[in-house]
Amino acid sequence: MASYDVIIIGAGPGGYVSAIRCAQLGLKTAIIEGRETLGGTCLNVGCIPSKALLHATHMLHEAEHNFAGMGLKGKSPSVDWNQMKSYKEDVVGQNTGGIEFLMKKNKIDWIKGWASIPAAGQVKVGDDTHEAKNIVIASGSVPSSLPGVEIDEKIVVTSTGALDLPKVPKKMVVIGAGVIGLELGSVYARLGSEVTVVEYLDAVCPGMDKDVQRGFKRILEKQGLNFIMGAAVQGVDATKTKAKVKYALKKTPDTEEVIDADVVLVATGRKAYADGLGLEALGVKLTERGQIATDSQWRTNVPGIYAIGDVIEGPMLAHKAEDEGMAVADVIGGKHGHVNYGVIPGVVYTTPEVATVGATEDALKAEGRKIKVGKFNFMANARAKAVHQAEGGFVKIITDKETDRVLGAAIIGPGAGDLIHEICVAMEFGASAEDIALTCHAHPTYSEAVREAALACGDGAIHS
């Protein structure tokens, strides 16, 4: 048995970042993780492996579609799927190993195993009970399925199974046109699968800017993804080798439609995960959606127990969890911990990327807020044209009509996931579009499109 200032349960981006910040603040810290490697869903079976596959298949797409036009002649590469998976595993290993190094460097004890909380101030792992003045639950989330859909991670898979299929399927049906469905759908479409996305709503990426939803779907369709929109999946019948996905279109709800698949990816959202912690016996309050309820300082209703990341309310994003991890450490360390939930970017790592931050044009209009919208198409950005990523892309900045203060932005285009941060910083500083427009931007860069969109909020963009 050991005694700590803080024990963190779960070593995903929320938990491990929190542990490092606690250690930096001089708190004796342990982290508990039951997986063989650190890094949680994000590093092991989420963000990182999917980015490796997105990168590899983007390279394939470039070779197949753009090399010859750039004077790079010769046979396109063929896919060695097992080698691609080992490259992905190598990327994962480098990153999870890096977190292990950081734990050692910061003198954080990694207690291996699955934790439970017998009482406030105590954490049990196996037969050992450890003492902790503070406990931070960062136990994350797991995929949620649908009634009538049984996941076997072979034919009917979640993102975890989809990252490790034994072979590239001929036909893949993706249920849900959210981030996971579109990222992994893109991967398999580029690998040659016939991918059909079945989505309940009439637009992809629920809640996103409407222009982005429309433009993004068009781009993905051009890349070969098929969409069945306004379709509620009602069940999946699977054998050992194939599946039939049953759905009904909203306009004909009494007619059952069926689509065949070799693999079905269920990407209909994730749910908070806190199984086995003993929260009920402790009396930890949950929200209606089963997340751990916390106050603005990430305290649960039980003194000494905090919660952060996917297991609490808010967007299920690694960087939101990281921010909460740092902030809760600051709170425990006696400092001021703060997360600005109004400035959390969201990124879809397809090609081109999609990135958003802040309020959408529609939400602001619905509030009756007077706004200005500045939009600039990547078709007029020299750099984007040079890399075949100008078509259909744009930067859109939304500002307050009176003050010119930036309220939100949406980008489809090359490097969108990086470009968005210029706007995040502007928003954190309460900057106006004019502030961005008056900042010198290097030429030729994608970020010139951000400046042009900012100029479009004022007297007008130069290149349109």
**Torsion over CA of 309, 310, 316 and 321, rounded to 10 degrees?**
10
Binding region for ligand NAI (CB under 6 A) out of 22-30, 309-317, 401-409, 427-435: 309-317
CB of 392 to ligand NAI, least distance (A): 19
Spell out the residues 6+ positions from residue 389 whose beta carbon is closer than 8 angstroms to its own. Answer: 351, 352, 378, 413, 414
| C-beta neighbour count of 104 within 10 angstroms | 11
CB of 38 to ligand NAI, least distance (A): 19
Task: Give the CB-nearest residue to ligand NAI.
Answer: 178
Residues 263-292 that bind ligand NAI (CB under 6 A): 267-270
CA distance 308 to 134: 13
CB 382 within 8 A of CB 89: no
Grouping H, G, I as helix, E, B as strand and the rest as coil, residue 50 is helix
Question: Which residue in 65, 338, 421, 443 is the catalytic one?
Answer: 443
Binding region for ligand NAI (CB under 6 A) out of 213-221, 262-270, 276-284, 403-411: 262-270
CB 386 within 8 A of CB 379: no
Grouping H, G, I as helix, E, B as strand and the rest as coil, residue 172 is strand
Site string for ligand NAI, 199-238 (x = CB under 6 A): xxx----x-------------------------xx-----
Residue 347 contacts ligand NAI per CB under 6 A: yes
CA-derived radius of gyration, the chain: 23
CB of 196 to ligand NAI, least distance (A): 12
CB of 13 to ligand NAI, least distance (A): 11
CB 290 within 8 A of CB 271: yes
Residue 316 contacts ligand NAI per CB under 6 A: yes
365 exposed, middle or buried (CB, 10 Å; 0-12, 13-18, 19+)? middle
Q: Which is nearer to ligand NAI, 185 or 392 (CB)?
A: 185
Catalytic: 463? no
377-398 residues labelled b (16+ CB within 10 A) or e (exposed): bbebbebbeeebbbbbbbbbbb
Residues 38-67 that bind ligand NAI (CB under 6 A): none
CB of 47 to ligand NAI, least distance (A): 6
Exactly one of 84, 91, 187, 317 binds ligand NAI (CB under 6 A); which one? 317
Q: Which is nearer to ligand NAI, 103 or 198 (CB)?
A: 198
Q: Which is nearer to ligand NAI, 116 or 351 (CB)?
A: 351
CB of 182 to ligand NAI, least distance (A): 8
Site string for ligand NAI, 167-206 (x = CB under 6 A): --------xxxxxxx-x--------------xxxx----x
**DSSP secondary structure string for all residues of 62-73:** HHHHTTGGGT--
For strand 353-358 and strand 371-377, is the pairing parallel, antiparallel, or unpaired?
A: unpaired
Distances (CA, A) of 459 to 146, 263, 324, 377, 452: 50, 52, 39, 17, 11
| Number of residues near ligand NAI (by CB under 6 A) | 26
Residue 299 contacts ligand NAI per CB under 6 A: no
Which residues are catalytically annotated?
443
Footprint of ligand NAI on this chain (CB under 6 A)?
A: 146, 175-181, 183, 198-201, 206, 232-233, 267-270, 315-317, 347-349
